[in-house]
Amino acid sequence: MKKEDFVPLLEIQSVERKIQNITSSIEKENHRFDQLNSLNQKNEIKIKETKERVEVIINSLEDNEKQLDQLSESLIIKEKEMMKVRTNNELIKIEVEIKKTREQINLLEESMLSLLDEEEQKKGDLDQFNIFNQNFKNSYEEIQKDIEKENYQLFNQKKSLETHLNNLYRDLPKEISDVYVTLKKKHTSPIAFLETNRCGSCKTLIDHLSIKSIESFSAIVLCPTCKKALVATSVQY
Ligand SMILES: [Zn+2]
């Protein structure tokens, strides 16, 4: 390893900080989506609830249909029985049963009609919710376009910084870039300067042997306390 190998590191750290700042500014713009997102969330909940209700209605209708078939069958049987009765008492009894069955059939038919009404209404609701969904995508894209248009410079700046960053990484020897990428997971600024004999970040005293390696750029030395990579200030000159 030599001094030139460490030069891109500082630039990388500074470019990454700039990109981070731009990303934060852009993220603030994303608040424009908040209201739309919350409406969309409500809409999705309504769609889910409505679909569930439609399913319940369809199942109830099937059940009611079966009951209706059974009642109609038993009505036919009872009407046939009525033809065969011999006593007045029997006749009264069967007439009561027939009346009761007819009432049950009426109730069932009424309930089925109201279920059918509700099903139709729910399906109309679903159409409305789906129209919102389609419009949502359009509004979302419109806001996205506005953000990109109004922050054209930021987006451009970010893009060119990212290209620059890729080039810097390409110039960096693999063993240094591997260490740097690992450190970056813990630190936003993984590089600290060696200031006299201390870590420039946490001020820990650094031993002589390490200082020698750092100043000769012969190895990557991490601060024993904050674990940042220590770089000699002479890298800048
Ligand atoms: Zn330190």
**Average of pLDDT values for 14-23?**
94
How many angstroms separate the alpha carbon of residue 139 from the centre of ligand 1?
Answer: 49
**Average of pLDDT values for 5-13?**
90
How many angstroms separate the alpha carbon of residue 198 from the centre of ligand 1?
Answer: 8
Strand partners, 195: 198
**Contact at 8 Å (CB) between 115 and 60?**
yes
The confidence score (pLDDT) of residue 171 equals: 86
Q: Is 207 in a helix, a strand, or coil?
A: coil
How many angstroms separate the alpha carbon of residue 229 from the centre of ligand 1?
Answer: 8
Kindly report, residue by residue over 39-69, the tens digit of the pLDDT.
999 999 999 999 999 999 999 999 999 999 9
Q: What is the CATH number of domain 3-26+154-236?
A: 1.10.287.1490
Q: Please give the structure tokens belonging to residue 113.
A: 């009609």
**Average of pLDDT values for 208-216?**
95
DSSP-derived secondary structure letter, 96:
H
How many angstroms separate the alpha carbon of residue 141 from the centre of ligand 1?
Answer: 46
How many angstroms separate the alpha carbon of residue 204 from the centre of ligand 1?
Answer: 6
The confidence score (pLDDT) of residue 236 equals: 82
pLDDT bracket for residue 125 (50, 70, 90): very high
For residue 153, give every residue at least 6 positions away whose Cβ sits within 8 Å of its Cβ, in sequence order, or none.
none
Asked if residue 82 has pLDDT above 90, the reply is yes
Q: Checking phi first, is residue 95 left (phi over 0); if not, alpha (psi -120 to 50) or beta?
A: alpha
Single-letter code of the amino acid located at 111: S
Q: Percentage of the chain surpassing pLDDT 90? A: 90
How many angstroms separate the alpha carbon of residue 184 from the centre of ligand 1?
Answer: 15
**Average of pLDDT values for 189-208?**
95
Asked if residue 237 has pLDDT above 90, the reply is no
Q: Please give the structure tokens belonging to residue 90.
A: 């029997």
**Average of pLDDT values for 170-180?**
90
Strand partners, 221: 230
Calpha distance 52→81 (Å, rounded) = 44
How many angstroms separate the alpha carbon of residue 200 from the centre of ligand 1?
Answer: 7
The confidence score (pLDDT) of residue 115 equals: 97
The confidence score (pLDDT) of residue 65 equals: 97
The confidence score (pLDDT) of residue 188 equals: 86
Domain extents in the chain: 3-26+154-236, 29-152
Q: Please give the structure tokens belonging to residue 201.
A: 């970040």
Identical fold between 3-26+154-236 and 29-152: yes
Q: DSSP letters along 47-76, please?
A: HHHHHHHHHHHHHHHHHHHHHHHHHHHHHH
Q: In the chain, which ranges are continuous DSSP H helix? A: 3-29, 34-84, 88-150, 152-171, 174-184, 208-215
How many angstroms separate the alpha carbon of residue 199 from the centre of ligand 1?
Answer: 5
Asked if residue 106 has pLDDT above 90, the reply is yes
How many angstroms separate the alpha carbon of residue 5 from the centre of ligand 1?
Answer: 21
* The model scores a pTM over 0.75: no
Q: Percentage of the chain surpassing pLDDT 70? A: 100
Asked if residue 145 has pLDDT above 90, the reply is yes
The confidence score (pLDDT) of residue 66 equals: 97
The confidence score (pLDDT) of residue 62 equals: 97
The confidence score (pLDDT) of residue 161 equals: 97
Which architecture, in CATH terms, is 29-152? Orthogonal Bundle (1.10)
